Structure 1
Amino acid sequence: MNKSRKSLLSVIVLSALMGAAHSYAEPSSMQGVAPFVSDVPQVQQVMLSPSFWLERHADHTPIMNRAQIQAFNRDLIATNKHVIDPLAYSSELSAQQLRATIGNTSSTPSSPRFYVDGTALTEADFARYHANTNIGAIKESNKVHFGMVVTRTSLRTFPTDDRVLNAEMDVDLDRFQESGAFPGEAVAILHQSADKQWYLVAAYNYTAWVKKSDIAVGNKAEIRDYMHAKDFIVVTGDKVDTTFVPNKPHVSQVQLDMGVRLALMPQQDIEHLTHGQNSFASYIVKLPVRNSDGTLSFNTALLPRSSDVTVGYLPLTSHNLIAQGFKFLGERYGWGHDYKARDCTGFVGEIYKTFGVLMPRNSSWQGAGEYGQNWRFDSSATSQQKLAVLNNMQVGDLIYIPGHVMMYIGDYDGEPYVIHDVKGLGYLKDNDEFYDGELNGVSVTPLLPLHLNASTSYLDKTYAIKRIAAGTVQ
């Protein structure tokens, strides 16, 4: 399966992104001779440029149009229990419902856990965490409130910032870290911790604990109006910041990650000066902020027109799928959106959010989900059966192995290549010895050489391939 590397004769200049804010230029390291050291098989430096794949596989033909994407999302919310409209949450929860939700969110793990200093968590430690979930305050009927995320934040297993590791003591994998939530997202607020510092919230694709200071409580109708604003921007870069504004921390240098959607201020409400800066060279957005009493309001914020954003969603095309994926290349792996980054499902989820497509949070939820067009493989499936599907993949197709997802970007020399946010790197060397390395970031790799261990390849463990396409939600 290992093939000799072939020299590539030239670097292809990327055409302008359809609908995106920027066109690509080749990195300076591609324009001359630059050091390139790699232990990744069958990857050459030029393959790390999006233009290499765009020239071979890009297509501007829409995979789904806007109406089809809206229908896709509606059907997904209606049929998949892992994706919801938080604003459709019931106005009240019974004691039984709330206890069950807390129990599902904040369960004691079956295997040992350790603090970063190596100290094992005890029953008393878990009792303290459970006590802070405030189950004792549950009433026969519990009012549900609604709010918006005002700053990038973490969704946690328990209402605590404590970092907790498993027996392998991998400091990158905080086992209390579940997911992330981003400015402009709506949440249903289900409960408050005993220390009054955390909310239990239901976001569109996850339920967990979030810092109370990162959520503003508002009126559901007002939040829905904001979420359905006709004019909005979508962040299409890996991340952008709002413009610095002196003495206004709520709107100054706020990090906005790929896929964040913010309503634009109506033209008639924009003045020539916004926070002391001329407005004409900026996008003026309505940013959700948290008032001193915890309530929601919307303040004006500026984004330079040079920012990697687009007005409305990007067209869902193979060209844009590749271009968006490569904007994360080299970002460090962030388990559950840790490190202000993302993991494998966050990576593909945020790419597809730039087109307005929603997805479940976890890879198992995605891989098992019946939305999209699916090819499934049980334990009796042969490599030949899987290869027959791989040979007919389209850019943007998602490949699932247990605990991981990859996005197909095209073939080179008959070999399928993927881009993915991944921890480990394993493959068989020329002498059939297993190479056990690290990627720990967004990487371009061939698919077929990758192994989980000396005897098990990624192909062996591939259980689903999914295509996000119109008319295929089940």
Structure 2
Amino acid sequence: MKKALALKYKSLIKAGWKSVLAGAAALCIFAAMNVAAIKSYAGVTYMPDVTKEMNTPEFWLSFSPYDADTVQADRGRIEQININNLMNEKTNMNDLQHYNESIDGVEFNEKVLTKAREELKSYKDKGYYDQYGNKLSDILIESIAQNTQNRSASQLQAPMYAIVVKRTTLNAFPTDTIITDELGDVNFDYNVLSSVRVNEPLVIKSVSADGQWYYAESLNCYGWVNAYDVAICSSKAQWESAWVIPDDRVLVVTGSKVILAESNTNPESSNLLLTVGTVLEEAPAGSYGARVTNRSPIGNYVVYIPVRNGDGSYRKELALINGNAEVSEGYLPLTKRNILTVAFRMLGDAYGWGGMLSSNDCSGYVGDIYRCFGLKLPRNTTWQAASNSFSYDVSECTDEQKMELLNNMPIGSVLFFKGHEMMYLGTVNGKYYVVSSVSSIAYYAGPGVMRTRSVMINTLDIRRANGTTWLSNLYKLQVPYMM
């Protein structure tokens, strides 16, 4: 009897262990499946309701494939839009090519000194920090403000003409001091105003007290640029020869970033960063020899790049760009496919306030996309929204009315709310999708704010830090390539 009970007990234990082992095996399989699922998404994460497929141009073009490659605006219309934007005072764009005004340097000194003191004091009053974690002090403020003063200022001085030799920024003040509203957040600098790209023209109106900064105007902004990032031309004619390029020799960077090959023989072009929207001149066939930067040009584009001589003057020299780089011979045709292709090449790129970190903020992102088509947009959201392009004012519309209008807006339309802009993609399952360079949003999985700081796709039902949706905050819908 005892033996029978023992055998039965042993068989039950054995069966139990089999059950446990089977369960454990099932759990392992389930865990492995979950790990596999996690790994399949661990490489790239997306916003809610955004799939991997949505991060491709083909997904959005599939809804209207018949006009994906239809030119939405030809060169003639684009040039007319550029002229309209230039003539519109609300866009604050600068007609550099026709700039020949003399400058009252004494008066200019007074204006920039007063403005610098006022703006820096406002940052101090808000409790902002420098890059070392110190709150802005009166001593620092006055030191920066005094550096705005041109020691050689006169009441009648001619402008200088410069070309950007490395991708850099225009700053609010002639200093490398970072001004941030969050202790330790040196990736957000209120001193930065706008990016300027290699071979971009500038008009120089003043020089800082230490000689290290120039006060410059670009096509769509103005501010202080580091003197070592630009080269001064000997004449206006030399300056124009750098950037007024015949259409058949235009080469446009259409990828997020293109980096030239490292070179010991040509340090000026070695590892030179070219960001999206950079425009260079291709060298005419037969104008160069068997070697460029000590290499055969086979498999490469041959272009001119601007160089700063030791005395700060300008010259141009030849450089090579890989034939497989994301560039275009001539401005891209303005099609929906090309708009999305350029826009999506920057997905996942860092957000860069004012163009810092060699990246873009929201308006810089949209502006650089359209640069690839030769369309020149104003610098910030307010100025872009004020352009004469085809648009709807939806500030008084309900969400339902906004959605009805969005249903008829084309890919590439720009949507604005105060402090942000985004590019419209389309609608899927009743949700409206946009792509933009985003600094922060209300955290979608709980309370608080999510620091996104990336170029990303999201729906218009996500919320701002104040709890309201992006859709409810829209005040203008615009098609920048339509008049």
Instruction: Confirm or deny a common fold (TM above 0.5).
Output: yes
Alpha carbons of structure 1 residues 127 and 98: separation in structure 2 relative to 1, 3 Å: closer
Q: TM-score, normalized by length of structure 1?
A: 0.86
**Which of 251, 268, 276 is the equivalent residue of 2:294?**
276
Cα offset, 1:225, TM superposition? 2.7
**Which of 387, 398, 401 is the equivalent residue of 1:370?**
387
Alpha carbons of structure 1 residues 305 and 53: separation in structure 2 relative to 1, 3 Å: same
- 1:398 aligns with 414
Q: Letter of the 2:452 partner, please give it.
A: L
**Which of 438, 448, 457 is the equivalent residue of 2:469?**
457
Inter-partner Cα distance in structure 1 for 2:292 and 2:117? 44
Inter-partner Cα distance in structure 1 for 2:343 and 2:300? 26
Cα offset, 1:33, TM superposition? 4.6
Alignment of 1:36-185 (within 5 A): 38=45, 40-57=47-64, 59-80=68-89, 81-94=91-104, 95-96=106-107, 99-100=110-111, 107-109=118-120, 110=122, 111-134=126-149, 137-166=152-181, 170-185=185-200
Cα offset, 1:37, TM superposition? 7.0
CA contact (8 A) 2:150 2:207 kept: no
CA contact (8 A) 2:304 2:318 kept: yes
Alpha carbons of structure 1 residues 100 and 57: separation in structure 2 relative to 1, 3 Å: farther
Alpha carbons of structure 1 residues 268 and 454: separation in structure 2 relative to 1, 3 Å: closer
Cα offset, 1:437, TM superposition? 2.2
Alpha carbons of structure 1 residues 425 and 266: separation in structure 2 relative to 1, 3 Å: same
The number of aligned residues is: 436
Alpha carbons of structure 1 residues 137 and 318: separation in structure 2 relative to 1, 3 Å: same
1:226 paired to 2:242:
yes
Unaligned runs of 5+ in 1: 1-28
Alpha carbons of structure 1 residues 250 and 455: separation in structure 2 relative to 1, 3 Å: closer
Q: Letter of the 1:298 partner, please give it.
A: K
CA contact (8 A) 1:113 1:121 kept: yes
Q: Which has the higher helix share?
A: 2
Note the alpha carbon deviations across 1:61-106, whole angstroms, 9 max, x for none. Answer: 1111011111211221122452113232234112435644665577
1:213 paired to 2:224:
no
1:249 paired to 2:244:
no
Note the alpha carbon deviations across 1:170-226, whole angstroms, 9 max, x for none. Answer: 432111111111111000011111111111110111111111011111121122133
- 1:442 aligns with 455
CA contact (8 A) 1:57 1:410 kept: no
Cα offset, 1:358, TM superposition? 0.5
**Which of 414, 431, 434 is the equivalent residue of 1:415?**
431
Inter-partner Cα distance in structure 2 for 1:113 and 1:143? 37
Inter-partner Cα distance in structure 2 for 1:40 and 1:131? 46
Note the alpha carbon deviations across 1:3-48, whole angstroms, 9 max, x for none. Answer: xxxxxxxxxxxxxxxxxxxxxxxxxx99x95546747221122222
Note the alpha carbon deviations across 1:103-142, whole angstroms, 9 max, x for none. Answer: 5577524233212333211122111001001156432112
Alpha carbons of structure 1 residues 151 and 38: separation in structure 2 relative to 1, 3 Å: closer
RMSD after superposition = 2.3
Q: Which moved more, 1:285-294 or 1:243-252?
A: 243-252
Cα offset, 1:454, TM superposition? 5.8
- 1:310 aligns with 328
CA contact (8 A) 1:377 1:463 kept: yes
Cα offset, 1:462, TM superposition? 1.0
Alpha carbons of structure 1 residues 326 and 96: separation in structure 2 relative to 1, 3 Å: same
Note the alpha carbon deviations across 1:279-315, whole angstroms, 9 max, x for none. Answer: 1321110111111111111100111111111110000
Q: Letter of the 1:88 partner, please give it.
A: H
State the SS of the aligned residue for 2:132.
Answer: coil
Cα offset, 1:49, TM superposition? 2.8
Q: Which moved more, 1:336-345 or 1:254-263?
A: 336-345
CA contact (8 A) 1:108 1:126 kept: no
Moved over 4 A (4+): 36-39, 101-107
Q: Which has the higher strand share?
A: 1
State the SS of the aligned residue for 1:278.
Answer: coil
Cα offset, 1:157, TM superposition? 1.2
Unaligned runs of 5+ in 2: 1-35
Cα offset, 1:394, TM superposition? 0.7
State the SS of the aligned residue for 2:382.
Answer: helix
CA contact (8 A) 1:147 1:220 kept: no
- 1:288 aligns with 306
Note the alpha carbon deviations across 1:358-406, whole angstroms, 9 max, x for none. Answer: 1111112112x1321111133x432233222222111000011111110
Inter-partner Cα distance in structure 1 for 2:150 and 2:292? 46
State the SS of the aligned residue for 1:134.
Answer: coil
Q: Letter of the 1:83 partner, please give it.
A: M
